[in-house]
Structure 1
Amino acid sequence: MTSLLGCRLPILQAPMAGSQDHRLAAAVCQAGGLGALPAALLAPEALDAELGKLRALTDQPYNVNFFAHTPPAPDAAREQHWRTLLAPFYAEFGVDPASIPDGPGRQPFSAAMADIVERHRPAVVSFHFGLPAPELLDRVKASGARILSSATTVEEGLWLQAHGVDAVIAQGLEAGGHRGHFLSADLGRQLGIFALVPQLVDALDVPVIAAGGIADARGVRAALALGAAGVQVGTAYLSSPEAGTTALHRAALGSPAARYTELTTLFSGRPARGIVNRLIQALGPRPEGIAPFPLAGNAIGPLRAAAERQGSDACSPLWAGQHVGNTQGLPAAELTQRLAGGLDR
């Protein structure tokens, strides 16, 4: 894995859009891991600036991550139903739903983003929700980048291998944030890391990277024992000082509430794992008829901002996996080194 990706340690920091910028990625890179910069919430100009800042802090290889979803057609009826469900929270936190603009906040990989990749030539480019159109993927490959993408089933891993990835990220059901499934939306097909990794290792010729529920050296050791060539860690890094995690999110990660996570569609329209909060309790984790991904996030954004200004995490996406770990507040470099302690088989 280190030969493939160019980093000193087979420890990958998971890209976490909305909770980090170049500073976390650079700190992990400098510690010998593969830091990642999420681009899903960035315009091309903003990504260009972030990559410039990242390169100013490290000369080590890094990963840039993009979403590869297909934007849905707007549906006025579903959007109205979704805002009706949120009406009690709008009233509580003083948000006028008529003032909320339309338009998705998360954009898929595009030709404009390919221009940025060609300009900065990152060592690794990763995708979530499958892969972009072949002509776009060809441009990324031609830049010299290694290609990674997430699989939540064996079928997805085989599909990714057939479409030319250099390694597959096995996203276990324990993982925090958005599920990366793209061939089927049936959550009943999703596997935990201990079931998924060995099946992918047996089925694929490309290396497998384990992701989900890994927050310490014991998890790293277990993943390697299952045949993984490396690990990807996200939640444990959220509490690092270099992360952009909000104070409310940090507090939740360090509290007993972090023991209870749920797959919810409430914050974007797509299943993602986070700590259970009041919005999830009130509406249920995956209510019927809400706006599809990523359009559901439009109605949540102003509500989250208003609630957080009032000191409440009731409407915040508190992304977290099923194992937060006990490393709250550790600098990213120290956490990376602790994780590397599990590399001794």
Structure 2
Amino acid sequence: MATKTNSGNFFEDYSVGQILTHAVPRTVKMGERALYHALYPARHALYSSDQFAQDCGLPFSPLDDMIAFHVVFGKSVPDVSLNAVANLGYAQGRWLLPVWPGDTLRSQSEVIGLKQNSNGKTGVVYVRTTGLNQHDEAVMEYVRWVMVRKRDVNAAAPETVVPDLPNAIAAADLVIPEGLDFSNYNFDLAGEPHRWGDYEVGEKIDHVDGVTIEEAEHMMATRLWQNTAKVHFDTSARPDGTRLIYGGHVISMARALSFNGLANAQMMVGLNGGAHANPCLSGDTVRAWSEVLDKAETSAPGVGAIRLRLVATKGGAPFDLRGEDGKYLPSVLLDLDYWALMPL
């Protein structure tokens, strides 16, 4: 009898140019926001208040940028990373349209690179994933690369194709939501007085606060995003018997913690690059710091773009990133490079 279950794709199942249509579209509403704000200390004003968003030129408050990311990402997991050892990095991410309560999101990916590892047991798969709404409009896109197990270690290695990924998205290529206007921005209600002009390239900000990751909330989050990667649920999927915390959970936690010092970095619009430097496990206390990498003006009234490095850690001194050997310190969980929108 033929099996009807799906064990997921292994490294040798991928080919460059392959299109993966991911199953189960999802309609997102205010329940996603309520759960998101329960899981993370998220409190950026644009995603908390319809009135604040309307005063900024939007019809009402969109869903948090990372809700869109998690839903789009989660759709891709059964086809891309069900048998992953680790999600290694991101590049060329852009939020193209706000996601409104009631939108239905689906995802598709194109395989753009393959590279077998020297151990012959795993390989790296590069995909460009696009999230679409019910109107077939792209709401976001990003590239990620994943280390995936081989089903058969004796399977021939594919031709190595590693995509050329620019270090950053040009500020001119960022998409500003239609109507966004920070001319009458209310700094008191936003929570901090610091505007775009108050930040200097090279400045570093310690976000001070920390949150200890618990298994229960991580399990709730990965189920919320319908992320089925085995390493997040099945402790037998990792040699050490631990449950790996979903990297996106760390991104959202760090982004929420960055409110303290970057409360006016309201909207994420670009994901230049990112690396999950070390695994995050239950019981780790996540802290965060940021560095200002670049700034640019935009065509939207009162709106500036700020490029930030967001680093999540599980210990160590603030602003420590790499050792003398150039490698990430063991305390570093996440190194994320992104663009955000901030009032001038």
Task: State the TM-score bracket (shorter-chain normalisation).
Answer: under 0.3
Greater helix content: 1
TM-score by length of 1: 0.27
